[in-house]
Structure 1
Amino acid sequence: MTSPIMSESEVRAAVARELPGVRADLERLVRIPGIAFEGFDHSHVERSAEAVAELLRGCGLDVRIVRSGGQPAVIGTKPAPPGAPTVLMYAHHDVQPVGDLSLWESEPFEPVERDGRLYGRGAADDKAGIMAHVAALRAFGDQLPVGVVLFIEGEEEYGSDSLERLLTEHREEIASDVIVIADSTNWDVGVPALTTSLRGVVNLFVELRTLDHAVHSGMFGGAVPDALTALVRLLATLHDDAGDVAVEGLTGRAGAEVDYPEDRFRAEAGLVEGVALIGTGRITERLWTRPAVAVLGIDAPATGEAPNALVPAAKAKLSVRLAPGDDPKRAYDAVRTHLERHAPWGARVTVTLEHDGDPCVIDASGPMFDAARAAFRAAWDGTEPVDIGVGGSIPFIATFQEMFPQAAILVTGVEDPHARAHGPNESLHLGEFARVCLAEALLLANVAGQGRQAG
């Protein structure tokens, strides 16, 4: 015999009761600089995993810290009541590096509230995702209406290299009817969203060499091509004059019919006045369903230290975002072929893959998606949720789709267009966070209700 599901008013009261403690625990997590990138102190990632494990134990879950050659992940489980479905709840506890510290208005790992937003690295991406899960569990306490599996990853920002092995090794333990991935964004402050498509990614390095050693720029300049100039010319071939990607073989598709006004987009992106958008077609297509290529960095002499010498070699890191439906391996071959074919002046070009990840498309129909949308409407006081695409990548969603084809995958999130995830002054809108916590709790109640109807 299953216990009664809490009413909406009871869930609302329970979430409101738990929010102060949830906020305090979120701030404690933000203070841990758990960066999984090479060259950083990974003992902080260990501390972060231990802190998450302690939070899940406090919710009555059976908890283990696991790894498979990479950084630690945390798995917490609580079995379903008889006849109830099981929900897997995903987030990640690692964070991006802070970048240029001088661009931060406050210390990245000391959470600070300003104008209703909580600032700090990981405050939005994705420690608030963890705490949204915790808030829902705390709200129900011993009356949890579904079984839960919490999978909190420890190296998502660094490419999730060991995640597929972890999922395979713990497949039976994490098998679920519904998967909630709290690592995306909402359409706007006050407007919730379900993410139904994400681009894939190929990160690669291109190194160009023209000389076996540096030579005097006066003695040889004018006849000998320097590597940096050649690299700049090569990188310029990746786009046409309109700014569309000019790599033959990368695919695109039609985008969602969602209006994204240019003035709003320019403000959210922080475009400098007078700078034009690149590419053609609807903004949502350019962001969600077409390829994009960006130069993330260049290895070359720093301007303050550069001698009057022709640079013999230069290297760039590229990020290629792939339209849903494209294949990362084929896309990498297309980009590599383009770079090798367009090498200026016979320069020697070497292309090396860093990592890749699959795009995904989610069919957001069916009773569990209806349950999610109903939870969003209630939490946002009647506002209809929007189905959106996302230009970023969460490659492991394709792995979840392959491993658990019968599970409904709900991609939700705590971010908004002003969160500045991955950049300086990352922040979380605290009012939206409260709605996200309420929506997650209501979602669990709705999923339990759908499960009973199906039974």
Structure 2
Amino acid sequence: MDQHVLRNTVHELWAGTALDSLSGFVAIPALSPAFDPVWSANGQLHAAVEHVRGWLTARGLHGASTEVIQLPGRTPLLVLDVPAQDASNEETVVVYGHLDKQPAAGEWSPGLGPWTPVVRDGRLYGRGAGDDGYAAYAGAGALAALQAAGGRHARTVVLLETCEESGSPDLPHYLELLADRLGAVGLVVCLDTAGGDYERLWLATSLRGIAFLDLTVRVLESGVHSGHGSGIVPGSFRVIRQLLDRIEDPHAGEIALPELNVDVPPERLAEIRAAVAGGYRAPELPLAEGVRPLSEDAVELILNNTWRPTLTVTGADGLPPISDAGNVLRPLTGLKLSFRLPPTTDAAVALRSIERALTGGVPFGAHVQIDRAEAADGWNAPPTAPWLESTLDKVSADVFDRDWQAIGLGGSIPFLGMFARAYPRAQFVVTGPRGPGNNAHVPDEWLHLDQTARVTEAVARILHAHATA
């Protein structure tokens, strides 16, 4: 393989047609179904799929085919299927990305907008640029560069779903549909995560699971004057607070339910310590003046964010705005509870444990109702094969001139658990060009173009190494 041609081809793509087409993709408001209930009638997801399909087809990859698959009542899946090129490895490689987007989410900075692509200071701004439109171009671009440089690759299938931002509910149905067609999958490259800087190759090795539910506690059929009722009827907030204290220690912040806790694997703890020794820290957050983080120990903060369960109240019902609140003993309090679960926790078991804790022996016989309870498992990467370990070392030295870094992430991405169940013998490369400050899901989302080119080149080299592994 001519590595000079490989690098030049990647950089030419990202300076030319890939950037142009990705900019066109940004302009399409292809909201995920969770944010657009009439997505099918609006046609924006289909428009995004057809836009990207056009670019993929134009690459002219040897023997490649593109196909849009859509099961009844489900979002479309775009598939690029590229036959093996001089490979001795008969496994299939799956490269993953998604084409659905988050909504605008507030006001963007002057001159920027969610559906207005802007290139500024080496960044492409716009919704979907970094999460996750680039993945289609990086995956196909890596293959195009390999073929131009005389490189090798096994059969590679790029899967681009359109409901990831809604939790990927349709993806398992497509993985089942494609199981026989894909055959033995030996490598999964997921292009939808972030790292700690824009200087090295970052691999995600774990993601937390999630459980969430709506909890409502009712003590009255209707509100009453607080002067008449307080001291006679327990406040619904008092009851709900007692229920939550069964789950979370209000002082230490630790989750008390054993079903939600796990032992941190030694290799993950070693990764965290190595990352901290190399300067990695938990994400910087906009703390209010005087507020301290939960620990001054960087390792503890990362463990809290990646391998320990947490509870967050993300919404409330039954509480009027302060300006409208009168002297009323309210009939009910409702809270939206979001639990982040350790990567290896059984999410279904954890959810049942939470429900038992909230509904058994309720103080004062208050009425408890649980709605919209759901859970999804996290993901923990399998041990890294020797061929991949050595390849990552060489790729990092050649492309980034720095060691690669592995780290767990605090978010929940259900599709990784789906892939792990579908392809239990596969190696995983979970990476991406996003990093600090890139603003995925919030205003001013942007994509670091130089890092994207480096990640694309790294993926190409990994595919080349896999072809003879």
TM-score (norm 1): 0.88
Unmatched segments (≥5 aa) in structure 2: none
Residues 160 and 442 of structure 1, relative CA distance in 2, 3 Å threshold:
same
1:289 paired residue number: 307
CA distance in structure 2 between the aligned counterparts of 1:137 and 1:92, rounded to whole angstroms: 18
1:3 paired residue number: none
8 A contact 2:208–2:342 mirrored in 1: yes
CA distance in structure 1 between the aligned counterparts of 2:293 and 2:256, rounded to whole angstroms: 16
How do residues 21-420 of structure 1 correspond to structure 2 at under 5 angstroms? Answer: 21-38=17-34, 40=36, 41-42=38-39, 43-60=43-60, 61-68=64-71, 69-85=73-89, 86-99=92-105, 101-102=106-107, 106-141=112-147, 145-146=152-153, 147-175=155-183, 176-228=185-237, 230-231=239-240, 234-235=243-244, 238-240=247-249, 241-254=251-264, 255-257=268-270, 258-259=272-273, 265=281, 268-278=284-294, 282-303=300-321, 309-341=328-360, 343-362=362-381, 363-380=383-400, 382-420=401-439
RMSD: 2.8
Quick one: which amino acid aligns to residue 377 of structure 1?
A
Cα displacement (A) at 1:417 = 2.5
1:380-415 Cα deviation digits (max 9, x unpaired): 1x2000111111122332332332233222111121
8 A contact 1:248–1:338 mirrored in 2: no
**Range 340-349 or range 19-28, more displaced:** 340-349
Unmatched segments (≥5 aa) in structure 1: 1-5
Residues 140 and 287 of structure 1, relative CA distance in 2, 3 Å threshold:
same
Residues 424 and 348 of structure 1, relative CA distance in 2, 3 Å threshold:
farther
Residues 264 and 388 of structure 1, relative CA distance in 2, 3 Å threshold:
closer
Q: Secondary structure at the match of 1:433?
A: helix
Cα displacement (A) at 1:152 = 0.5
Q: Secondary structure at the match of 1:405?
A: coil
Q: Secondary structure at the match of 1:249?
A: helix
1:341-397 Cα deviation digits (max 9, x unpaired): 4855443222234432222222123213432443233221x2000111111122332
1:239-263 Cα deviation digits (max 9, x unpaired): 3212222334311323423346699
Cα displacement (A) at 1:223 = 3.4
Cα displacement (A) at 1:285 = 1.1
Cα displacement (A) at 1:226 = 4.4
**Range 324-333 or range 309-318, more displaced:** 309-318
Quick one: which amino acid aligns to residue 33 of structure 1?
P
Residues 272 and 92 of structure 1, relative CA distance in 2, 3 Å threshold:
same
8 A contact 1:84–1:145 mirrored in 2: no
CA distance in structure 2 between the aligned counterparts of 1:278 and 1:346, rounded to whole angstroms: 35
CA distance in structure 2 between the aligned counterparts of 1:226 and 1:129, rounded to whole angstroms: 51
Cα displacement (A) at 1:150 = 0.6
Quick one: which amino acid aligns to residue 183 of structure 1?
D
CA distance in structure 1 between the aligned counterparts of 2:10 and 2:414, rounded to whole angstroms: 31
What is the aligned residue count?
443
**Range 305-314 or range 143-152, more displaced:** 305-314
Quick one: which amino acid aligns to residue 54 of structure 1?
G
Quick one: which amino acid aligns to residue 145 of structure 1?
R
Quick one: which amino acid aligns to residue 55 of structure 1?
W
8 A contact 1:291–1:320 mirrored in 2: yes
TM-score (norm 2): 0.85
Quick one: which amino acid aligns to residue 396 of structure 2?
F
**Range 410-419 or range 158-167, more displaced:** 410-419
Quick one: which amino acid aligns to residue 207 of structure 2?
L
8 A contact 1:70–1:155 mirrored in 2: no
Residues 415 and 253 of structure 1, relative CA distance in 2, 3 Å threshold:
farther
CA distance in structure 2 between the aligned counterparts of 1:313 and 1:410, rounded to whole angstroms: 47
CA distance in structure 2 between the aligned counterparts of 1:50 and 1:302, rounded to whole angstroms: 46
Does residue 1:14 correspond to 2:9, yes or no? Answer: yes
Residues 15 and 329 of structure 1, relative CA distance in 2, 3 Å threshold:
same
Quick one: which amino acid aligns to residue 66 of structure 2?
V
